Chains A and B, each alone.
Chain A
């Protein structure tokens, strides 16, 4: 391995970027197949990433009346026919085995008194299909974390920010490895690997209103794009109607829109004057969100830009009481808010990235040797998704991507990095740190400027690419992204060696700008409305033109947007 002076080299057969449920599962699959794996985690295992926010529902083919055909039909219908059927079939067929794997790793699922899985039917399920892992998302990632730590083939690198992929010196577009920053030591590292799996999750933090941890900045999406991979349906972001915007200590949490239904709380969404915003019976989520967005735009929102989730005055069913008795609502009560009686200010917020890096059934991207797994991979759900799909997809495609990456690495071996590209990526990182010098030198930016650029970008994404979109707003967003990038180009952070959090902030923000441009451009491209993508200037679904994926790749002068058929 040839590397540069002054950077640390780590060698592996497979590098997995991201260590939520998908990355941890990919690492296990690759290691169990014999690979030496470097598992790169931006934060501490099981204490960072998006998996920890999940409740733990996983849709699996376990009911005696279920079948792959029913499962596939349900997913495709929910996704407005925009999911690739080959991937959905894999999701259905592999799901029981992945549940069994989790039990082998030590997870427990909720079971009925008789011992069978406590399968529950959620909206869009033709057969009860969701099993619940004990401990929710934390239980899932805790189980996988323990399995990774117990596997001698997996080297875990926590607090490791992966920044970019570097191609091979032999002229192949395949990655030679990953450049990143080891925050604990402050070293810039090159992780040389035969194959790379991206498992970096979504980019929901681009939106001002979202219900995701601070990690969801889209780093892997930007890495894949810069490496030349095809991304698809980047306009498809799943919004959730009732993300809390006030009180401020609860920002990022949400209350369930579904619990307002008569069988639970029989509640309402109210405007600032206490008038209901939605008709009864309450509409499905995407319709509800459009009505809520219109009400907010019409000035009916509260002081903090939201509407009011209210459980109502009527008596609450046992199901309604039980629904508010979970860890999530305990957390809300610990912040002094009583969900049974208080009006909670909420607004639609980004919840899940449906689009992402295009993959085949083995998790292979359009770049050889580069694999990806949901949430950062797309085309599994389409324009909406069923409850329980996300966690199951992490296990099914994490496992497949890990196995395929191991096989690819075995067949092709590792190769040295292209030296100029490696130097350029290392230089990109080093160039963001202000170098103090005698008699002058560079000056680090005020913290405020980085925060201001981030706030500016997030407000622009919320405004231009939120629930309601049109060409003018998306054009304005593209201009805002260009302005943000221009401001960022001048920013430098102080020269702090150990845990330079500001350097990560800056790299994340740069990735966020890249991803925001892909979201805006894809949303402009899709001149129709479908599922969670609503174009006010093209309000109808257009199957004649748009039963297709939008695509984007890096071109000579910027992103090149296109489209391709959905796989049936």
Chain B
């Protein structure tokens, strides 16, 4: 469990590509710059997709982790 406090949470559990990235884009548009989005995913593709998406879009991947097939990302909006 992370100590990071998220401003918003997106749970994509059970969904697969392209939905986690599609829904992350939508969720990120709803928060303000500097705020943190917590993303929960079970699609292993997000392990590469989310860090790469952050790099391209100017957001900061603050922390990520995986436990029992559940992947957690904390992304600060740029």
Do they bind each other? no
Q: Which residues of B contact A (CB under 8 A)?
A: none
Q: Which residues of A contact B (CB under 8 A)?
A: none
